[in-house]
Amino acid sequence: MEILKRRRKGINLVAIVVLYAGVAVAQNSEVVTELAPVEVTEKSDEYSRSTSDSLRTRTPILDSSQSLQVVPRAVIEDQNSQYLGDTLKNVSGVQLDYGFNGSAQPLTILRGFPSNSWGSGSSTMQQSSNYYLDGTKVTGVPINMLNTESIEVIKGPSSILFGRSEPGGTINVVSKSISARRLTSFTQTVGSYDLVSSSLETTGALNESKSLSARVGGSYSTSESVRDYVEDKLSAFSAGLQWANGKTLVKATVDYMDQRYRSDLGVPSEGNRPKDLPWSRQFNDSPLLSYAKTSLVKLDIVQQLRGSWEIKAKALNVESKTLEADIVTRRTDWGKGPTPSDTCNASGNPLCRYYFGYNPDGRYGVWQTSVDLTGGFFTGRLRHNALVGVDGYWSQRSGTSYGQQVSSVDVNDPRLGHTLPPNSALGTPVDRAGRNDWLSIYAQDELYFTERFIMTTALRYDDTNTVTGGANRAPVRQAALTPRVGFLWKLDENQSLYTQYQEALSANNGRDNISGEALKPERAREYEAGYKFSSDDNRLNATIAVFDLTKYDKGNTEIVGSPPVTRRVTTGESRSCGVEFDISGQLTSKFALIGSYAYIDAKVLKDRRYSGKEQPNVAKQSGSIWGRYFLTSQWTAGAGAFGQGERQKNPENTIQLPGYIRYDLMLAYGFKSWGNKSALQLNVDNLLNTKYYTGSHQFVEDWIRVGSPRTFRLTYRLDI
């Protein structure tokens, strides 16, 4: 802990020195640009964005030599997305892995690779989702869609700007901003399977000069499922205060989320397909709901310097208390705890059931501090757009998990609902502590040889220190340099061609939990080229990209021995290559669309067991299309189709998930309530009631996730 404290102190001193140096420069420089109180600069009904928070500079997306797709608030509201996974179906190359942790924490796959790190400090099978929240990596934190402004997906490696990211891409969730424009909104949704979702938020200036603004919001959602015993509940509160005074902006926000859930453990396979069972059948009847109680505190400071230069400093703290109490199924006996009279014979019926990872006292914490300096300058006639930054990231996870066998189940005639709560005294405690510490320095230069020929060069240095598998394990310290180089040619003001090469450092894998040997860190490299288009008014944007991505020293788990033991290994190399297409925006003044298509060939190149096999849960072809049309000044209609082809369920490629296409509809009516803007909106998902499978756990035959049947949601919105 002393090492961790010294490293935190060092990076904080660097951040403070850089920040005060920037302030000193500002006080002795002529300020050209001033920071105004935040206002909404693009229409709330727009389907496209020409800029992105994830780029960390003011570079337009059209001028960036990397593929990036933004799903704005308008799409989230039109589709009435309740969970992050619902929104990501609009982005090419994004598919779903098998996830625990409830619907508010999906596991995703981007460009053929899962977004969760197996070197994240947790060695249980119940891996948590990884994504970025306002630019900071969080693990196991529920996403509140009612407090989300947009979802930004950077395709391919983006570790130069973010660090610690998986090579397939980075999902950055952008929270709603604090605005000086006074607005109060109320939303109420009811729907199938006892869905109830409510939110109330207000924002606006607190003084006449509008230099001081605030935002307060609260929400609550609860729903059951067609699947037996599955529940999702999320309570959330957010408050923020912002001060903007010409050259300086300071923003502080506090968020609290209480997520309670019972995970869907899916259905078993039979032969080479999911077993044909009733849509409702599910075998996790734990009498306890799992939960994650999470608090976030964020501080952002922006200081305008001379000319276009500015300095951004950020600090974030996440603290989460968790309980995991799901019951998992297995067709072979794990031999944990007192063995019931029923046994499983590996045929798939009956299934053994276990509190495999019962964790009553989980703790998770994150600290991040970062400082970015951005601005433009000239060397001779060459213009530069530069970024220099430093950040420190520390995460800790602890808890004690237990394994306990409970009654087995006949999959054709389950008699559930009477399972006893887990008893820690009947299981052997296992320490699940882990820690990740990263110190990073990075620099990026966008060099304009002409206004139409831009070269981007970037370099990042990461110093990582990781403990996995238990608090008493020796840490593994590793360091790496990762480069990026890109070229972009603007054919005209609306079109550009680009190419780039980028490397990535994604995870410090720690140690093999059996031998104790230090494992190599996960690395990746990617070649990418593409074409971008933006209309004259920036209201329609499109990107087509081709890529070749290889991940090596890939961290994973392997089940060995009898009784089985999970060990940490690096499994060689995997490669993903393909083409992606994204389009979003206004085709006409009345018609907006967002669409995507991806062809991805993802295979294992080197592995002791799976060389030449396709990556699990990755469809070679997937796509989506959603359109919204203003029928009149009051009536709006929307419709979409979302689908993917056949996918391999397991690394051996002996089980496949069938392809599918799902159709959704929306109809909305706008009107005045008490003189204020109001709307009623009806959404119908899976209109044709198609049975489909969203993903599976690649190492367990009996965990295949089933998609939802036809569902209805009715929403009332009021803006004051």
Residue-wise pLDDT for 470-520, tens only, equals 656 778 888 889 999 999 999 999 999 999 999 988 766 667 767 777 777
Q: Are 466 and 480 in contact (CB under 8 A)?
A: no
User: How far, in Å, CA of 414 to CA of 227, rounded?
Assistant: 13
Please, what are the domains in the chain? 2-719 (2.40.170.20)
Q: Residues near 560 by Cβ (< 8 Å), separated by ≥ 6?
A: 514, 567
Q: pLDDT at position 638, please?
A: 97
Which residues on adjacent β-strands are paired with residue 552?
523, 573
Q: Would you say residue 14 has pLDDT above 60?
A: no
pLDDT bin (cut points 50, 70, 90) of residue 302 is very high
Judged against a pLDDT cut of 70, whether residue 336 lies above it is answered with no
CA distances from 72 to 51, 91, 366, 536 (A): 11, 12, 27, 20
pLDDT at residue 382, as a whole number: 94
Q: List 291's β-bridge partners, or say none.
A: 260, 323
Torsion angles phi and psi, residue 312, rounded to 5: -120, 125
pLDDT at 453 over 50: yes
User: Residue 403: which pLDDT band, with cuts at 50, 70 and 90?
Assistant: confident
pLDDT the model gives residue 186: 96
The count of other CB atoms within 10 Å of the CB of residue 478 is 17
> pLDDT (tens digit, 9 = 90+) per residue, 242-254?
999 889 999 999 9
Shortest CA distance to 441 belongs to which of 134, 170, 160? Answer: 160
Q: What angle do CA 356, 360, 363 make, to 5 degrees?
A: 110
CA proximity to 80, closest of 176, 153, 171, 187 = 187
Mean per-residue pLDDT, 284-300: 94
One DSSP character per residue, 226-267 reads SSTT-EEEEEEEEEEEEEEEBTEEEEEEEEEEEEEEE----B
Average pLDDT score over residue span 204-217:
95
Q: What one-character DSSP code corresponds to residue 651?
A: T
Report the 3 state secondary structure along 105-171. CCCEEECCEECCCCCCCCCCCCCCCEEEECCEEEECCCCCHHHEEEEEEEECCCCCCCCCCCCCEEE
pLDDT of residue 192 exceeding 90, the answer is: yes
pLDDT at residue 101, as a whole number = 75
CA distance 67 to 87: 18
Q: What is the pLDDT of residue 562?
A: 57
Range from 108-117, 511-520, 614-623 that averages highest in pLDDT: 614-623
Interior CA angle at 444 toward 438 and 445, to 5°?
170
Least confident range from 172-186, 264-278, 509-523, 698-712: namely 509-523
Asked whether 659 and 646 are in contact (CB, 8 A), the reply is: yes
What is the per-residue pLDDT for 337? 45
Give the separation between CA 585 and CA 574, rounded to whole angstroms.
Answer: 35
Mean pLDDT in residue range 334-341:
50
Is residue 690 pLDDT above 70, yes or no? yes
| The pLDDT of residue 571 | 64
pTM for the structure as a whole: 0.88
Whether residue 120 is predicted with pLDDT greater than 60 in this model: the reply is: no
Per-residue DSSP letters for 573-597? EEEEEEEEEEEEEESSSSEEEEEEE
Bridge partners, 504 (sequence order): 524
Name the least confident of 154-168, 186-200, 473-487, 663-677. 154-168
Please, which pLDDT band fits residue 11 given cuts at 50, 70 and 90? very low
Distance CA 547, CA 553 (A): 20
User: d(Cα 319, Cα 112) in Å, to the nearest integer?
Assistant: 31
Question: pLDDT above 70 covers what percent of the chain?
Answer: 87
Confidence band, pLDDT 50/70/90 cuts, at residue 117: low
On average, the pLDDT of the chain sits at 86
Q: What is the pLDDT of residue 30?
A: 35
Closest CA to 277 of 286, 263, 265, 289: 265
